[in-house]
Structure 1
Amino acid sequence: MVRFKNRWLLVELIPCGDPQSPGTPTIGGLSDGESSSRQIWAALKQSVITNFGDTGWGAVGTSLTIKYYSPRTNMCIIRVARDQHRIAWAALTLFSAVDGQRYLPHVIHVSGTIKQAQLAAIRHNREVVARYRAQARTPAAYQDSFDEFLATSEKEIEALQD
Protein backbone atom coordinates (compact mmCIF):
# COMPACT_ATOMS: atom_id res chain seq x y z
CA MET A 1 0.00 0.00 0.00
CA VAL A 2 1.37 3.39 -1.01
CA ARG A 3 0.70 6.50 1.01
CA PHE A 4 0.66 9.95 -0.56
CA LYS A 5 3.00 12.21 1.35
CA ASN A 6 2.04 15.83 1.68
CA ARG A 7 3.43 19.07 3.00
CA TRP A 8 1.22 21.51 4.83
CA LEU A 9 2.00 25.21 4.46
CA LEU A 10 0.69 27.56 7.13
CA VAL A 11 0.41 30.98 5.54
CA GLU A 12 -0.66 34.35 6.86
CA LEU A 13 -2.02 36.68 4.18
CA ILE A 14 -1.26 40.21 5.35
CA PRO A 15 -3.46 42.81 3.61
CA CYS A 16 -1.54 45.74 2.16
CA GLY A 17 -2.77 48.95 0.72
CA ASP A 18 -4.13 52.27 1.82
CA PRO A 19 -6.30 51.77 4.91
CA GLN A 20 -8.13 55.05 4.20
CA SER A 21 -9.47 53.94 0.82
CA PRO A 22 -13.01 52.56 0.79
CA GLY A 23 -13.33 48.87 0.13
CA THR A 24 -9.98 48.05 1.69
CA PRO A 25 -10.53 45.68 4.60
CA THR A 26 -8.81 46.64 7.82
CA ILE A 27 -9.55 43.58 9.97
CA GLY A 28 -9.95 40.27 8.27
CA GLY A 29 -9.71 40.20 4.54
CA LEU A 30 -11.68 38.23 2.05
CA SER A 31 -15.39 37.73 2.60
CA ASP A 32 -16.10 34.18 3.78
CA GLY A 33 -14.03 31.03 4.09
CA GLU A 34 -15.61 29.03 1.24
CA SER A 35 -15.44 31.57 -1.59
CA SER A 36 -12.19 33.12 -0.41
CA SER A 37 -10.41 29.75 -0.36
CA ARG A 38 -11.42 29.35 -4.01
CA GLN A 39 -10.08 32.84 -4.73
CA ILE A 40 -6.78 32.04 -3.03
CA TRP A 41 -6.55 28.77 -4.95
CA ALA A 42 -7.19 30.61 -8.25
CA ALA A 43 -4.57 33.27 -7.42
CA LEU A 44 -2.07 30.58 -6.49
CA LYS A 45 -2.82 28.68 -9.70
CA GLN A 46 -2.27 31.84 -11.75
CA SER A 47 1.02 32.48 -9.94
CA VAL A 48 2.25 28.94 -10.66
CA ILE A 49 1.31 29.23 -14.33
CA THR A 50 2.89 32.69 -14.66
CA ASN A 51 6.15 31.81 -12.93
CA PHE A 52 6.59 28.10 -13.73
CA GLY A 53 4.44 27.57 -16.82
CA ASP A 54 2.17 24.67 -17.63
CA THR A 55 4.83 22.20 -16.53
CA GLY A 56 4.87 23.70 -13.04
CA TRP A 57 1.08 23.66 -12.85
CA GLY A 58 1.03 20.07 -14.10
CA ALA A 59 3.32 19.06 -11.25
CA VAL A 60 1.55 21.03 -8.52
CA GLY A 61 -2.06 21.19 -9.70
CA THR A 62 -3.17 17.68 -8.86
CA SER A 63 -2.26 17.95 -5.18
CA LEU A 64 -2.78 21.64 -4.38
CA THR A 65 -5.65 22.19 -1.95
CA ILE A 66 -6.64 25.06 0.31
CA LYS A 67 -7.66 23.11 3.40
CA TYR A 68 -8.47 26.01 5.70
CA TYR A 69 -8.88 29.77 5.47
CA SER A 70 -10.06 32.09 8.20
CA PRO A 71 -11.00 35.62 7.12
CA ARG A 72 -10.86 36.57 10.79
CA THR A 73 -7.16 35.77 11.17
CA ASN A 74 -6.13 35.72 7.49
CA MET A 75 -4.52 32.35 8.15
CA CYS A 76 -4.51 29.70 5.47
CA ILE A 77 -3.43 26.05 5.49
CA ILE A 78 -2.43 24.68 2.09
CA ARG A 79 -1.82 21.01 1.28
CA VAL A 80 0.54 20.09 -1.56
CA ALA A 81 2.48 16.96 -2.51
CA ARG A 82 5.81 16.60 -0.76
CA ASP A 83 7.86 16.55 -3.96
CA GLN A 84 6.34 19.77 -5.32
CA HIS A 85 5.98 21.81 -2.15
CA ARG A 86 8.87 24.09 -3.09
CA ILE A 87 7.18 25.09 -6.34
CA ALA A 88 3.97 25.91 -4.46
CA TRP A 89 5.92 27.80 -1.81
CA ALA A 90 7.75 29.85 -4.44
CA ALA A 91 4.52 30.61 -6.31
CA LEU A 92 2.89 31.62 -3.05
CA THR A 93 5.75 33.96 -2.28
CA LEU A 94 5.53 35.50 -5.76
CA PHE A 95 1.80 36.19 -5.86
CA SER A 96 0.67 39.58 -4.70
CA ALA A 97 -3.11 39.91 -5.10
CA VAL A 98 -6.24 37.90 -4.48
CA ASP A 99 -9.27 39.15 -6.39
CA GLY A 100 -7.81 42.64 -6.79
CA GLN A 101 -6.86 43.07 -3.12
CA ARG A 102 -3.12 43.16 -2.51
CA TYR A 103 -1.69 40.74 0.06
CA LEU A 104 1.73 39.96 1.40
CA PRO A 105 1.93 36.18 1.94
CA HIS A 106 3.99 35.11 4.94
CA VAL A 107 4.77 31.41 5.23
CA ILE A 108 4.83 30.73 8.95
CA HIS A 109 5.33 26.97 9.09
CA VAL A 110 5.85 23.96 6.82
CA SER A 111 5.02 20.55 8.23
CA GLY A 112 4.47 16.96 7.22
CA THR A 113 1.15 16.54 9.06
CA ILE A 114 -1.96 18.65 9.42
CA LYS A 115 -1.76 18.29 13.20
CA GLN A 116 1.59 20.10 13.31
CA ALA A 117 0.19 22.84 11.06
CA GLN A 118 -2.78 23.20 13.42
CA LEU A 119 -0.53 23.46 16.46
CA ALA A 120 1.64 26.04 14.69
CA ALA A 121 -1.46 28.09 13.78
CA ILE A 122 -2.68 28.09 17.38
CA ARG A 123 0.79 29.01 18.62
CA HIS A 124 1.01 31.85 16.07
CA ASN A 125 -2.40 33.22 17.09
CA ARG A 126 -1.31 33.27 20.73
CA GLU A 127 1.90 35.12 19.80
CA VAL A 128 -0.04 37.72 17.82
CA VAL A 129 -2.43 38.31 20.72
CA ALA A 130 0.50 38.56 23.12
CA ARG A 131 2.06 41.22 20.85
CA TYR A 132 -1.21 43.19 20.79
CA ARG A 133 -1.46 43.00 24.57
CA ALA A 134 2.16 44.12 24.94
CA GLN A 135 1.52 47.12 22.69
CA ALA A 136 -1.54 48.00 24.76
CA ARG A 137 0.49 47.44 27.95
CA THR A 138 -2.10 45.16 29.50
CA PRO A 139 -1.19 42.28 31.80
CA ALA A 140 -1.29 38.75 30.42
CA ALA A 141 -4.09 37.77 32.83
CA TYR A 142 -6.30 40.65 31.64
CA GLN A 143 -9.69 39.50 30.31
CA ASP A 144 -10.56 41.12 26.98
CA SER A 145 -12.03 40.31 23.57
CA PHE A 146 -8.81 38.55 22.58
CA ASP A 147 -9.70 35.63 24.86
CA GLU A 148 -12.87 35.00 22.86
CA PHE A 149 -10.90 35.42 19.64
CA LEU A 150 -8.34 32.82 20.72
CA ALA A 151 -11.00 30.35 21.81
CA THR A 152 -12.97 30.71 18.57
CA SER A 153 -9.95 30.43 16.29
CA GLU A 154 -8.60 27.45 18.25
CA LYS A 155 -11.92 25.60 17.86
CA GLU A 156 -11.98 26.32 14.10
CA ILE A 157 -8.43 25.10 13.61
CA GLU A 158 -8.84 21.95 15.71
CA ALA A 159 -11.98 21.02 13.77
CA LEU A 160 -9.91 20.35 10.64
CA GLN A 161 -9.61 16.77 9.47
CA ASP A 162 -7.08 15.37 7.01
Structure 2
Amino acid sequence: MVRFKNRWLLVELIPCPTATASALDASSPEDNGINSKQIWSALKQSVLNNFGDTGWGAVSSSLTIKYYSPTTNVCIIRVARDHHKTAWAGVTMLTNIEGRKYIPNVVHVSGTIKQAQLSAITHNREVIARYRANRLTAAAYQDSYEEFLQKSTQELEALQD
Protein backbone atom coordinates (compact mmCIF):
# COMPACT_ATOMS: atom_id res chain seq x y z
CA MET A 1 0.00 0.00 0.00
CA VAL A 2 1.30 3.44 -0.95
CA ARG A 3 0.79 6.44 1.24
CA PHE A 4 -0.38 9.74 -0.26
CA LYS A 5 2.41 12.23 0.43
CA ASN A 6 1.78 15.95 0.74
CA ARG A 7 3.62 19.21 0.98
CA TRP A 8 2.30 21.98 3.19
CA LEU A 9 2.86 25.60 2.15
CA LEU A 10 2.64 28.32 4.79
CA VAL A 11 1.83 31.49 2.86
CA GLU A 12 1.51 35.06 4.08
CA LEU A 13 -0.63 37.28 1.84
CA ILE A 14 0.65 40.83 2.27
CA PRO A 15 -2.00 43.37 1.19
CA CYS A 16 -0.75 46.16 -1.04
CA PRO A 17 -1.84 49.59 0.16
CA THR A 18 -4.20 51.40 -2.17
CA ALA A 19 -3.67 55.00 -3.24
CA THR A 20 -6.22 56.18 -0.65
CA ALA A 21 -4.87 54.15 2.27
CA SER A 22 -1.91 55.33 4.31
CA ALA A 23 1.10 53.16 5.05
CA LEU A 24 0.10 52.81 8.71
CA ASP A 25 -3.36 51.51 7.78
CA ALA A 26 -1.84 48.92 5.45
CA SER A 27 0.31 47.48 8.26
CA SER A 28 -2.52 47.09 10.75
CA PRO A 29 -4.74 44.01 10.78
CA GLU A 30 -8.09 44.49 9.16
CA ASP A 31 -11.01 42.44 8.01
CA ASN A 32 -10.22 42.41 4.32
CA GLY A 33 -13.24 40.31 3.44
CA ILE A 34 -11.46 37.37 1.82
CA ASN A 35 -11.82 33.77 2.88
CA SER A 36 -10.19 30.45 2.05
CA LYS A 37 -12.62 29.74 -0.79
CA GLN A 38 -11.66 32.99 -2.53
CA ILE A 39 -7.96 32.23 -2.04
CA TRP A 40 -8.48 28.78 -3.59
CA SER A 41 -10.28 30.33 -6.58
CA ALA A 42 -7.54 32.91 -7.10
CA LEU A 43 -4.88 30.21 -6.85
CA LYS A 44 -6.79 28.09 -9.37
CA GLN A 45 -6.92 31.02 -11.79
CA SER A 46 -3.20 31.71 -11.30
CA VAL A 47 -2.27 28.10 -12.07
CA LEU A 48 -4.58 28.06 -15.09
CA ASN A 49 -3.14 31.33 -16.43
CA ASN A 50 0.48 30.28 -16.00
CA PHE A 51 0.44 26.49 -16.54
CA GLY A 52 -2.77 25.88 -18.47
CA ASP A 53 -5.14 22.97 -18.12
CA THR A 54 -2.27 20.50 -17.77
CA GLY A 55 -0.87 22.29 -14.73
CA TRP A 56 -4.28 22.67 -13.14
CA GLY A 57 -5.11 19.02 -13.85
CA ALA A 58 -1.97 17.92 -12.02
CA VAL A 59 -2.57 20.14 -8.99
CA SER A 60 -6.37 20.25 -8.70
CA SER A 61 -7.04 16.89 -7.08
CA SER A 62 -4.86 17.58 -4.06
CA LEU A 63 -4.96 21.37 -3.62
CA THR A 64 -6.77 22.51 -0.47
CA ILE A 65 -6.63 25.50 1.84
CA LYS A 66 -6.53 23.99 5.32
CA TYR A 67 -6.29 27.20 7.37
CA TYR A 68 -6.66 30.94 6.83
CA SER A 69 -6.38 33.74 9.37
CA PRO A 70 -7.81 37.10 8.23
CA THR A 71 -6.02 38.85 11.11
CA THR A 72 -2.50 37.88 10.07
CA ASN A 73 -3.30 36.94 6.42
CA VAL A 74 -1.61 33.58 6.84
CA CYS A 75 -2.85 30.42 5.16
CA ILE A 76 -1.78 26.80 5.04
CA ILE A 77 -2.11 25.06 1.67
CA ARG A 78 -1.91 21.29 1.17
CA VAL A 79 -0.81 19.90 -2.20
CA ALA A 80 0.56 16.58 -3.46
CA ARG A 81 4.31 16.22 -3.13
CA ASP A 82 4.76 15.47 -6.83
CA HIS A 83 3.16 18.76 -7.89
CA HIS A 84 4.03 21.12 -5.05
CA LYS A 85 6.40 23.17 -7.20
CA THR A 86 3.58 23.96 -9.63
CA ALA A 87 1.35 25.08 -6.76
CA TRP A 88 4.22 27.05 -5.22
CA ALA A 89 4.83 28.83 -8.52
CA GLY A 90 1.10 29.53 -8.83
CA VAL A 91 1.11 31.09 -5.35
CA THR A 92 4.18 33.15 -6.20
CA MET A 93 2.57 34.47 -9.41
CA LEU A 94 -0.69 35.30 -7.66
CA THR A 95 -1.32 39.03 -7.93
CA ASN A 96 -4.83 39.71 -6.69
CA ILE A 97 -7.71 38.13 -4.83
CA GLU A 98 -11.21 39.46 -5.45
CA GLY A 99 -9.78 42.56 -7.13
CA ARG A 100 -7.48 43.50 -4.25
CA LYS A 101 -3.72 43.31 -4.79
CA TYR A 102 -1.61 41.03 -2.59
CA ILE A 103 2.02 40.04 -2.45
CA PRO A 104 2.26 36.34 -1.56
CA ASN A 105 5.17 35.32 0.63
CA VAL A 106 5.83 31.60 1.06
CA VAL A 107 7.11 31.48 4.62
CA HIS A 108 7.63 27.74 5.02
CA VAL A 109 7.31 24.48 3.08
CA SER A 110 7.11 21.24 5.03
CA GLY A 111 6.32 17.57 4.59
CA THR A 112 4.07 17.29 7.64
CA ILE A 113 1.19 19.32 8.94
CA LYS A 114 2.82 19.43 12.37
CA GLN A 115 5.81 21.41 11.09
CA ALA A 116 3.48 23.75 9.18
CA GLN A 117 1.48 24.27 12.40
CA LEU A 118 4.58 25.08 14.43
CA SER A 119 5.81 27.51 11.76
CA ALA A 120 2.37 29.15 11.57
CA ILE A 121 2.25 29.63 15.35
CA THR A 122 5.74 31.15 15.35
CA HIS A 123 4.89 33.37 12.39
CA ASN A 124 1.64 34.54 14.03
CA ARG A 125 3.56 35.57 17.14
CA GLU A 126 6.04 37.54 15.01
CA VAL A 127 3.25 39.30 13.10
CA ILE A 128 1.42 40.23 16.32
CA ALA A 129 4.69 41.57 17.74
CA ARG A 130 5.02 43.76 14.62
CA TYR A 131 1.44 45.01 15.05
CA ARG A 132 2.15 45.87 18.66
CA ALA A 133 5.39 47.65 17.71
CA ASN A 134 3.50 49.75 15.16
CA ARG A 135 0.94 50.71 17.80
CA LEU A 136 3.74 51.61 20.26
CA THR A 137 2.23 49.68 23.15
CA ALA A 138 4.11 48.17 26.03
CA ALA A 139 4.93 44.47 25.85
CA ALA A 140 2.97 43.76 29.06
CA TYR A 141 -0.16 45.49 27.69
CA GLN A 142 -3.10 43.09 27.37
CA ASP A 143 -5.11 43.54 24.20
CA SER A 144 -7.27 41.52 21.83
CA TYR A 145 -4.14 40.08 20.22
CA GLU A 146 -3.62 37.79 23.23
CA GLU A 147 -7.02 36.22 22.64
CA PHE A 148 -6.23 35.90 18.95
CA LEU A 149 -2.92 34.16 19.65
CA GLN A 150 -4.60 31.66 21.97
CA LYS A 151 -7.47 31.05 19.56
CA SER A 152 -5.23 30.69 16.50
CA THR A 153 -2.88 28.34 18.37
CA GLN A 154 -5.83 26.12 19.30
CA GLU A 155 -7.17 26.18 15.72
CA LEU A 156 -3.76 25.32 14.27
CA GLU A 157 -3.17 22.50 16.72
CA ALA A 158 -6.60 21.05 15.90
CA LEU A 159 -5.81 20.70 12.18
CA GLN A 160 -5.77 17.12 11.00
CA ASP A 161 -4.24 15.70 7.84
* TM bucket normalised to smaller: 0.7 to 0.9
C-alpha contact 1:12 1:106 (8 A) present in aligned 2: yes
Q: Which sections of structure 2, spanning at least 5 residues, go unmatched?
A: none
Partner of 2:2: 2
Query: C-alpha distance in 2, partners of 1:10/1:140?
Result: 27
Partner of 2:20: 20
Change over 3 Å in CA distance of 1:146–1:19 after alignment to 2: farther
TM-score normalised by L of structure 1:
0.86
Aligned to 2:104, the other structure's residue is in SS state strand
Deviates more, 1:123-132 or 1:12-21: 12-21
Deviation at 1:111, TM superposition (A): 0.6
C-alpha contact 1:28 1:73 (8 A) present in aligned 2: no
Deviates more, 1:134-143 or 1:105-114: 134-143
The CA deviation string for residues 9-60 of structure 1, in whole angstroms up to 9 with x for no partner, is 0111111131736xx99613234xxxx2121111111111111111111111
Matches of residues 9-158 of structure 1 in structure 2 within 5 Å?
A: 9-18=9-18, 20=20, 27-31=30-34, 36-158=35-157
Deviates more, 1:142-151 or 1:118-127: 142-151
C-alpha contact 2:68 2:75 (8 A) present in aligned 1: yes
Change over 3 Å in CA distance of 1:39–1:77 after alignment to 2: same
Structure 1 runs (4+) greater than 6 angstroms displaced: none
Amino acid across the alignment from 1:29: N
Aligned to 1:127, the other structure's residue is in SS state helix
Deviation at 1:149, TM superposition (A): 2.0
The CA deviation string for residues 65-121 of structure 1, in whole angstroms up to 9 with x for no partner, is 111112222111100011111110011110111111111111111111111111111
TM-score normalised by L of structure 2:
0.86
Over the matched positions of the two proteins, sequence identity in percent amounts to: 67
Query: C-alpha distance in 1, partners of 2:16/2:134?
Result: 21
